[in-house]
Amino acid sequence: MHPRVHLHKQLERGTGWTTVRERERAREKMRPTPMDYFAELEDQGTTVAMDVDDVDPLEIFGGEGVLSVDNKLADADFFNAFEDDFDDADIN
Amino acid sequence: MGSIENLVTQIQGLSGSIDDIAHLHNILKVADESLHAEPSALSSVLDQVDPAKHSLGYLYFLEAFTSGPVSKEQALTLIPILARFINCCDAQQIRFAPDKFVSVCKRFKDHVLLIESPLRGVSPMRAAVRKLQTTSEHLTTLHPDFLLLCLLSKSYNIGLSVLEDDIFDVDQPRDLFLYCYYGGMICIGQKRFRKALELLHNVVTAPMNAINAIAVEAYKKYILVSLIHYGQFSTSLPKYASSAAQRNLKNFCQPYIELATTYSSGKIAEFKIYVDTNREKYDNDKNLGLVKQVVSSMYKHNIQRLTQTYLTLSLQDIANTVQLGSPKEAEMHVLQMIQDGEIFATINQKDGMVRFLEDPEQYKTCQMIEHIDSSIQRIMTLSRKLNAMDELMSYDPLYLSKVGRERQRFDFDDFDTVPQKFPI
């Protein structure tokens, strides 16, 4: 396994010491699987997720994050005052 | 005023070669503060400078001239000046001062909204996007503003032309959220549901440390469009969605999750009762129109399910099974679905029988081969881009410094040639 990818996975795990056995298990998880290039984009339930660890994503932007971390919704002031234009009864 | 006249002379003299324009830019940067000190003095000067030939100089004047709040009447005067500049300015020159160009364009957008005439902004904003972009893969901060004007003016087709570009380069994360959300709405307006789902999916699964209002609204529409297009919806988010989204998104969208659960029963009467009970919530979110499309889609998906069981069926049986009012109604639905390519069938009007057919596509026409070939090319391009991005990340100082900081937590066996610390 590429050393950079290996360290990336260690970082995500965030559990401190990692044994050789755990590293080998991680290597097995990272083994590439054939990709179905022609699969249609299905709904969320059948979407093939990327083969990543089952942990929180790496927060590469640090503690503060890209968006403000309040208890409120971020970007709550965004413009969303559109008319409801999707009623087909208007067309039919 | 004398110094402004000197500046005009310099702008007229130094707008030729790239070197001259770079030199002019340095002069304009120094003069910028004085331009902002007396913006009203610039109105007469604008006529002395050509927005097409002297775009950079004109941009500095225009940006200073239009700074500050304006009334509706002032906006009416400024809009044609701004539109003319955006349409005819030289892209190479304005890219020397992208922030100023963005300011001018955003003010233009605000002015057209102030006079409640978003349509007037659509064409100039599209031109602005193309001029600011370094490549067609570059998402600028003007993209969401352009799509917003398309939505308000119901110019969905024009918005689609920009949405066809694949985006790989983003200035600000908020731009991506808005671009994908507004873009999803435009695709819904054009009934391009699959593309809409792709864009809304991007919003919902984008990295976010805290739950984002744009993602919440996108998720609501995502649920509805998923029901319309696929007739089903799964609440599980993919692994690569942020933990903030995984933990919180559903809490903000409960009426929509419950709508999807009721939909999955396939019982139209029950579903309609649920919609009527919660009508106000969907109306407040301006999603009632889309919810009505979900109701219509239930008939469609129930008919589609019949094609998996029956070879022939009478219109009366279809009406009874799908809970339509009459065979005539069933005929209208089936005809529409045949026209839209959603089922393959023939109707014998003599005996009121519908014969369901197999998909005639043999996947061996020239058109299909071209389509498959272009899909393969697209995937290969994506793969190359991913490899390039992966490589770039491996050199990123921010990434390496974080990796370096975590070094001491590793087992002795895990040590390799990566240096221990990366000072930033």
pLDDT in tens, B241-274: 999 999 999 999 999 999 999 999 888 999 999 9
Give the per-residue pLDDT at B227: 97
Residue numbers in B near A84 (CB within 8 A): 283, 286-290
d(CA B217, CA A77): 12
| Alpha carbon B6 to chain centroid, angstroms | 44
Nearest to A19 among B214, B239, B411 (CB): B411
Mean pLDDT over B226-255 rounds to 94
The DSSP call for residue B421 is: -
pLDDT digits (tens, 9 = 90+) for B91-115: 999 999 999 999 999 999 999 999 9
Nearest to A76 among B213, B379, B394 (CB): B213
DSSP labels, B181-218: HHHHHHHHHTT-HHHHHHHHHHHHHS--SS-BHHHHHH
Task: Please give the residue that has the higher pLDDT: either B130 or B414.
Answer: B130
Inform me whether the pLDDT recorded for B224 exceeds 80.
yes
Give how far B123 is from chain A: nearest CA, Å.
20
Q: Which residues of B347-375 are buried (b: 16+ CB within 10 A; e: fewer)?
A: beeeebebebeeeeeeeeeeeeeeeeeee
Q: How many contacts (CB atoms, under 8 Å) link A and B?
A: 155
Give the per-residue pLDDT at B43: 85
Give the per-residue pLDDT at B4: 86
User: Most distant CA pair in chain A: distance in Å?
Assistant: 66
**Closest chain B CA to residue A81:** B286
Q: Residue B356: beta bridge partners?
A: B345
**B170 touches B176 (CB < 8 A):** yes
pLDDT in tens, chain A (92 residues): 444 444 344 444 434 444 545 555 555 555 544 443 334 444 444 444 444 444 444 444 444 444 444 457 889 999 999 999 999 876 54
Residue numbers in B near A3 (CB within 8 A): 416-418
Nearest to B238 among A44, A59, A60 (CB): A44
Residue numbers in B near A8 (CB within 8 A): 403
Q: What separation in angstroms does the CA of B391 have from each of A2, A4, B398?
A: 12, 10, 14
Give the per-residue pLDDT at B411: 56
Q: Which of residues 7-46 of A touch B (CB under 8 A)?
A: 7-8, 10-11, 16-20, 23, 37-38, 41-46
Inform me whether the pLDDT recorded for B18 exceeds 60.
yes
Residue numbers in B near A49 (CB within 8 A): 238-240
Which helix (H) or strand (E) segment holds residue B314: the answer is: strand B312-314
Q: Token pair for residue B338?
A: 């045949």
Give the per-residue pLDDT at B383: 94
Query: Residue B419 carries which side chain, given as an amino acid letter?
Result: P
Residue numbers in A near B403 (CB within 8 A): 4, 7-8, 11
Residue numbers in A near B234 (CB within 8 A): 43-46
Give the per-residue pLDDT at A17: 42
Q: Answer yes or no: do B242 and A4 touch at CB < 8 A.
A: no
Give the per-residue pLDDT at B317: 92
Q: Answer yes or no: do B409 and A68 touch at CB < 8 A.
A: no
Nearest to A75 among B174, B287, B372 (CB): B174
Mean pLDDT over B378-388 rounds to 92
Provide, rounded to the nearest whole percent, the portion of chain B with pLDDT above 70: 95
Task: Please give the residue that has the higher pLDDT: either B224 or A11.
Answer: B224
d(CA B24, CA B2): 18
Give the per-residue pLDDT at B416: 54
DSSP labels, A32-57: -----TT-----GGG-------SSPP
Q: Answer yes or no: do A87 and B288 touch at CB < 8 A.
A: yes
Q: Supply the mean pLDDT for chain B.
A: 91
Nearest to B379 among A37, A57, A60 (CB): A37
Mean pLDDT over B20-28 rounds to 93
d(CA B224, CA B292): 10
DSSP labels, B366-415: HHHHHHHHHHHHHHHHHHHHHHHHHHHHHH-HHHHHHHHHTGGGS-GGG-
Give the per-residue pLDDT at A51: 40
Mean pLDDT over B125-151 rounds to 96
d(CA B34, CA B46): 16
pLDDT digits (tens, 9 = 90+) for B173-185: 999 999 999 999 9
Taking residue B11's Cβ as centre, other Cβ atoms within 10 Å add up to 25
pLDDT digits (tens, 9 = 90+) for B287-307: 999 999 999 999 999 999 899
Q: Answer yes or no: do B232 and A82 touch at CB < 8 A.
A: no
Q: Answer yes or no: do A60 and B402 touch at CB < 8 A.
A: yes
pLDDT digits (tens, 9 = 90+) for B336-370: 999 988 899 999 989 999 999 988 888 889 999 99
Give the per-residue pLDDT at B260: 96
Residue numbers in A near B253 (CB within 8 A): none
Q: Supply the mean pLDDT for chain A.
A: 54
What predicted TM-score, i.e. pTM, was given to this entire model? Answer: 0.79
**A40 touches B382 (CB < 8 A):** no
Q: What ipTM did this prediction achieve?
A: 0.80
Q: Answer yes or no: do B243 and A37 touch at CB < 8 A.
A: no
Task: Please give the residue that has the higher pLDDT: either B401 or B145.
Answer: B145
Q: Answer yes or no: do B198 and A41 touch at CB < 8 A.
A: yes
Q: Answer yes or no: do B212 and A68 touch at CB < 8 A.
A: no
Residue matched to tokens 């959603």? B342
Q: Residue B145: is it exposed, middle or buried by C-beta count within 10 angstroms (0-12/13-18/19+)?
A: buried
Mean pLDDT over B3-11 rounds to 89
Mean pLDDT over B403-412 rounds to 62
**Closest chain B CA to residue A48:** B238
Give the per-residue pLDDT at B189: 95
Give how far B411 is from chain A: nearest CA, Å.
5
Q: What separation in angstroms does the CA of B158 have from each of B124, B182, B386?
A: 12, 13, 30
Q: Token pair for residue A72?
A: 């409120």
What is the pLDDT confidence band of residue B399, given thresholds at 50, 70 and 90? Answer: confident
Q: Which of residues 59-78 of A touch B (CB under 8 A)?
A: 59-61, 64-70, 73-76, 78
Task: Please give the residue that has the higher pLDDT: either A67 or B225.
Answer: B225
Give how far A31 is from chain B: nearest CA, Å.
16
Give the per-residue pLDDT at B38: 84
Residue matched to tokens 């993209």? B143
Q: Answer yes or no: do B208 and A11 touch at CB < 8 A.
A: no
Nearest to B177 among A11, A56, A75 (CB): A75
Whether chain B has a CB inside 8 Å of the CB on A92: the answer is no
